[in-house]
Amino acid sequence: MRDRGEFLFTSESVSEGHPDKVADRISDTVLDAYLAADPYARVACETLVTTNRIVLAGETRGPATISPEYLAHLARLAVHDIGYDQAGFSWRDAKIDVLLHAQSEDIAAGVDAAGNKDEGAGDQGIMFGYACSETEVLMPAPIHYAHLILRRISELRKIGDAHVAGLLPDAKSQVTLRYVDGKPVAATSIVVSTQHVDGMTQAAIKEMLRPLITELLPEGWMCPEAEFYVNPTGNFVIGGPDGDCGLTGRKIIVDTYGGAAPHGGGAFSGKDPTKVDRSAAYACRYLAKNVVAAGLAERCTIQVSYAIGISHPLSVYVDLNGTGRDIDPAKLERTLRDLVNLSPRGIREHLHLNRPIYVPTTAYGHFGREPDADLGTFTWEKTDLVPALKSAFGR
């Protein structure tokens, strides 16, 4: 794609109030509760949200102190934090069913360490990681700015800022950028659909959002007025789970690279780090980001694969997308495997994943975020492998 001289590329984001993101938030709230009580708890929690109804299902293995009543309470607090207290979906009186059950003994036997057997992967699968030099956070520009717009609206909404008065939690954004010689140079269209209180006009919301978005984009990047679409269908009063059913894991492209890189297909939220769908995807992003940060390539895609119950990856593949600076991909594959143990246990220990750090990942992307040393979040965004990579390749 980027070999073309000029092209358009589009990515979308959704806010924390989007029904699928409400479900992701609750699933990772359950995960964090278990990991706070026992770092080695096992969780695979799926959530469904609809009109005044929340259903938790899946499997867990952890302390009995994590009761269904406690999880229902935490789910209400999550909905309260998002901001839903409307007639069709409220943290106060939504009915909550907790249908979690014990982890399958067959799965546990394959995953658990025993004797000379290391911890195995929680399932088979392929996972991808990606990084590029388009933005300071080494993420593709379309998804980066799509996230940035909604994060800013949410931050202002939660502090009661008058600039977004009347806007409600459910929202979507879509950013189309024009690329010239493989580099993004401007937005050609921007779409924002945001829930709002009854009585606000489409024109008023557009006037409200234009300066906010213009300020977030690089200078001169704002799209033409005719290509700036705000609430294209008109009213957006009924939103969130009252307007549409939400399910955990249904926004995997929003969670990753906005379609600019491959995705293995597995969702992240609600899964503990023995599930390589999550932990290995984080490890792949970590490795790819360090390759680009070390100046070895402008774009890097990494794939790994696993078999259930087997600790080591079956394959590690690196693609520098034609941007490697005289770098041998086979040598890079070997170097990365030497630097990081890519078994589920190795990833968990290297990135410190057995902690209650997952709620912040559930909206505005799992990648391209700032690591927080105090909270221990987004450790996979560190670039601490850069010195070793530069040394290995004489840079």
Residue 95 labeled ligand binder: no
Residue 161 labeled ligand binder: no
Angle formed at CA 298 by CA 292 and CA 300, multiple of 5 degrees: 65
Contacts of 391 (CB under 8 A, 6+ apart): none
**What does the block give as tokens for 6?**
């000029």
Residue 103 labeled ligand binder: yes
Residue 18 labeled ligand binder: yes
Residue 6 labeled ligand binder: no
Give just the sign of the alpha carbon dihedral 366, 369, 374, 379: positive
Residue 215 labeled ligand binder: no
Residue 158 labeled ligand binder: no
Residue 124 labeled ligand binder: no
Residue 97 labeled ligand binder: no
Residue 20 labeled ligand binder: yes
> What is residue 334's three-state secondary structure?
helix
Residue 195 labeled ligand binder: no
Host H or E run for residue 141: helix 141-158
**What does the block give as tokens for 164?**
């977004």
Residue 21 labeled ligand binder: no
Q: What φ, ψ does residue 41 adopt, rounded to 5°?
A: -65, 155
Strands (E), the chain: 6-14, 42-50, 53-61, 85-86, 89-90, 95-102, 125-132, 167-180, 183-196, 228-230, 246-247, 299-306, 315-319
Residue 202 labeled ligand binder: no
Residue 118 labeled ligand binder: no
Which residues contribute to the annotated binding site for K(+)?
A: 46
Which residues contribute to the annotated binding site for L-methionine?
A: 59, 103, 244, 275
Which residues contribute to the annotated binding site for ATP?
A: 18, 170-172, 244, 250-251, 267, 271
Which residues contribute to the annotated binding site for Mg(2+)?
A: 20
Which residues contribute to the annotated binding site?
A: 18, 20, 46, 59, 103, 170-172, 244, 250-251, 267, 271, 275
